[in-house]
A and B are shown apart, each in its own frame.
Chain A
């Protein structure tokens, strides 16, 4: 019950962002560095998809890598 109370409180805190209008602490005009193409997590999706497939076909682990696709290619 106590855990549920904390959960409701946390959810209200997050949702209240809409009402209290949180001021972004990194202003849009301060995001020049973040917008630089070198800051993209995957600069070239075509290359990343290929490497994700290489790793997924050869490892027991899978998922949470941002990749997609199907097939086996694992023999």
Chain B
């Protein structure tokens, strides 16, 4: 039996070695630079900012990618409207990653630093991908670890916003993912991914409140109470098909479930259409998302101490969302810059519409920013909340 095991191990090692060496070398991502301006406007929140991405190879085996991204947030969201005053904040995210290509394998290491006045995040990640079976199949494995610090901003007597010295929390996050992409025919490619994420620490917002009945016509607010762990599983499959007249259609489905009881489905359909003169590429995309509420979510709780865990985060409610987008890309070359393989001007617009099944617009009973409504509705009878958002992106890409 031992001899059989030994020979089996030798067989496996030999086959893996042959599978790895018989094919030709893989390829690194192409060199490019992108500069993006974006604007998100919806639900009382406006976020805009730039993002710059540079990817450059060094020699034949190394490619470096750097990204700098800024979110400038001006928020008067429904949560802020019912429990605080509008605020402005800025989040800056910088990342650096390096790809090493060795034979058919690519090893990636990276680091992301995200900084805002009340939230600091450091994320390290690494991944391995390997092309096999004549480059028809690529398998990948990735690991990510994040360390986050959560603070709470308060206004002092002069109206100056600063971190509350009595509040500082931490949160750690880990993620494992495996992926597989497979060429099926000369026109069809499939890709699948499975990811497990675990969080531990302070997982709620330090600002958001739940509401509860004091009596049938009166409500009061209290801080949310969350579990300090969360584990999630997500599996996705996507397909892309090359149509006979040089266009592409793609589709994606993702199933999500976690230990908080949220169960989500995401589906997407996209179409890419280049023009015959190869100057323009048009793209249309529609995305549908639906989820069930977390076990400890309620729009309004029966009493203050109703349960150990209580949330009123609308992202943990039952809702569905549709996002539809259109994009246009104009491709050009500049004779004076022969090093520029190709340039692109891109414009993309998305419209997102979200309808909540169990999150009500509490401004009808509580009011806005401390000002009660003229004709308040009874708690729990307000209309269900809806959110529409416009998302615009303009970006320039250069390939060299």
A binds B: yes
Chain A residues with Cβ below 8 Å from B177 are 63-64
Smallest distance from the beta carbon of A33 to chain B beta carbons, Å? 4
Of B131-139, B211-219, B301-309, which binds chain A?
Answer: B131-139
Chain A contacts for B12, CB-based, 8 A = 15
Of A15, A38, A63, most buried by chain B (CB within 10 Å of CB) is A63
Contact of B19 with A by CB under 8 A: yes
Please name all residues of chain A whose beta carbon is closer than 8 Å to the beta carbon of B287 when the two chains form the complex.
Answer: 55
A-B contact count (CB 8 A): 206
CB-CB under 8 A from B185, the residues of chain A are: 26
User: Are B205 and A75 neighbours in the complex by a CB distance under 8 Å?
Assistant: yes
User: For the side of the interface on B, what is the size category?
Assistant: 35 or more
Complex partner residue of A71 from B119, B136, B207, B234, CB under 8 angstroms: B119
Query: What per-residue 1/0 map shows which CB atoms of A14-25 lie under 8 Å from chain B?
Result: 011111011111
B207 with A38: CB separation less than 8 A: no
Q: B88 to chain A: closest CB distance in Å? A: 11
CB pair A18–B16 under 8 Å, yes or no, is yes
Given A18-B14, A24-B136, A47-B346, residue A63 in contact with residue B175 (CB < 8 A): yes
Given the contacts A18-B22, A39-B248, A73-B71, A60 and B36 also touching, CB distance less than 8 Å: no
Interface flag for A3 (CB, 8 Å): no
Q: Do B51 and A18 touch (CB < 8 A)?
A: no
- Interface with A: B110-118, B158-166, B369-377, which one? B110-118
Inter-subunit contact A36/B246 (CB<8 Å)? yes
In Å, the complex CA distance between A24 and B138 comes to 13
Whether A75 contacts B264 by the Cβ 8 Å rule is: no
Q: Which chain A positions have C-beta within 8 A of B234?
A: 61-65
Q: Are A72 and B193 in contact (CB under 8 A)?
A: no
Residue of B nearest to A31 (CB): B186
- B15:A65 contact, CB within 8 angstroms: no
For B250, list chain A residues within 8 Å (CB).
41
Indicate whether B109 reaches chain A with its CB closer than 8 angstroms. Answer: no
B residues adjacent to A (C-beta < 8 A): 11-12, 14-20, 22, 34, 36, 38, 40, 47, 51, 53, 67, 69, 71, 73, 75, 77, 79-80, 89, 91, 93, 95, 110, 112-116, 119, 121-123, 125, 132-136, 144, 146, 148, 175, 177, 183, 185-187, 189, 191, 193-197, 205, 207, 232-236, 238, 240, 242, 246-248, 250, 254, 256, 258, 260, 262, 264, 266, 272, 274, 281, 283, 287, 289, 291, 294, 315-316, 321, 323, 329, 346, 348, 350, 354, 391, 393, 395, 397
User: Besides A62-B256, A63-B175, A71-B93, 4 other CB < 8 A contacts?
Assistant: A43-B272, A43-B283, A65-B193, A73-B91
A sample of 30 inter-chain contacts (CB < 8 A) reads A15-B16, A18-B17, A19-B18, A31-B183, A33-B186, A33-B187, A33-B242, A39-B242, A41-B250, A45-B34, A46-B53, A50-B36, A50-B38, A51-B391, A51-B393, A55-B287, A55-B289, A55-B323, A58-B354, A60-B258, A61-B291, A62-B197, A63-B233, A64-B195, A69-B114, A70-B114, A70-B122, A71-B119, A72-B116, A72-B148
